[in-house]
Amino acid sequence: MDQLSAHLDRGWDLAQKGDAPGASACAKRALELDPQSPEVHNLLGYTAALVGDSDEALEHYRQAIALDETYLEAMLNAAEVLMHPLGEWDEAVDLCDDALDYAETKEEIADCLLLRVDALLGKGDIEEAKRCMSRLPEPPFDNPSYVFLIGRAFYELGESEKALPYIEEAVRCDVNHADAHYYLGLLRDDGGDVRGAVEAFLRARARSHQAPARLGTDARYVCDARSRRDRRPRRAPRTLGTRR
């Protein structure tokens, strides 16, 4: 493995662990080796986003895209920053559309469309978000997390009947998936199954690694706010020396 790849792989390993300073240091060493590497600028953008510097993150993501106009991952990373915290919903939608032109796998297409739905929800365009959901590829996916993410998106759009089979399948695929149990509880509560809802909320709480949860008067399990980085399962480390 060459030095550039070693710095990038080490940087992503540290970023996945939440070590933004360590990841940034690796990215800066990689930048010294190759200032024109889109992968380096993508990592620099990601580490800047980790510490909340949205402007710097966006600058690096845009530089990565300028260096490689087909760089789907940088497009989606930039779209996330544009949405949260910047609230630039239209620009985020446009970037998701650009990314779709280069999406090849079912997972990549789902990434683009689910993020596009998030942006449409942010700008209040519910009908277009529903139309966007109709374009999603059908399961199975190589990564079963997409089943949960699609179910959650349907729930957020108020389409509980469409959400339920996805969320139930997510629970079957991973009985320790705290968020899947949580949304199953919401769906059961909405359907009037109070006992089933409480059981699902308790399972979610037992499996959650977040701060202690609260049970409200409507028996809903209340999770702490999650980072935008957890919205999609794209962040898993990839093979050494490959693009992220």
CATH classification of the domain holding 164? 1.25.40.10
Q: Examine the domain organization and report whether 167 and 229 are in the same domain.
A: yes
Q: Examine the domain organization and report whether 14 and 93 are in the same domain.
A: no
Q: Examine the domain organization and report whether 119 and 159 are in the same domain.
A: no
Q: Examine the domain organization and report whether 122 and 167 are in the same domain.
A: no
| Residue 239 domain flag | no
pLDDT at 192: 96
Q: Examine the domain organization and report whether 121 and 163 are in the same domain.
A: no
3-state secondary structure of 46: helix
pLDDT at 208: 86
Q: Examine the domain organization and report whether 20 and 58 are in the same domain.
A: yes
Pull the structure tokens for residue 121.
Answer: 């929800």
| Residue 111 domain flag | yes
| Residue 242 domain flag | no
Q: Examine the domain organization and report whether 151 and 221 are in the same domain.
A: yes
128 Cα distance to chain centroid: 20
pLDDT at 219: 27
Q: Examine the domain organization and report whether 228 and 145 are in the same domain.
A: yes
| Residue 174 domain flag | yes
Give the end of a domain, one of 81, 105, 138: 138
* Domain range for 229: 139-234
Q: Examine the domain organization and report whether 20 and 65 are in the same domain.
A: yes
CB 115, CB 95: distance < 8 Å: no
pLDDT at 215: 33
pTM summary value: 0.81
Q: Examine the domain organization and report whether 172 and 213 are in the same domain.
A: yes
Q: Examine the domain organization and report whether 46 and 35 are in the same domain.
A: yes
H helices within the chain, ranges in order? 3-16, 20-33, 38-50, 54-67, 72-83, 89-100, 106-122, 126-133, 145-156, 160-173, 178-190, 194-207
pLDDT at 209: 58
- CA distance readout (Å), 91 to 1, 82, 122: 37, 7, 12
Q: Examine the domain organization and report whether 129 and 144 are in the same domain.
A: no
State how far the Cα of 14 lies from the Cα of 11, in Å rounded to an integer: 5
Give the end of a domain, one of 98, 116, 138: 138
Those residues of the chain that have pLDDT short of 50 are: 211-244
pLDDT at 108: 96
State how far the Cα of 127 lies from the Cα of 215, in Å rounded to an integer: 32
* Domain count across the chain: 3
CB 43, CB 12: distance < 8 Å: yes
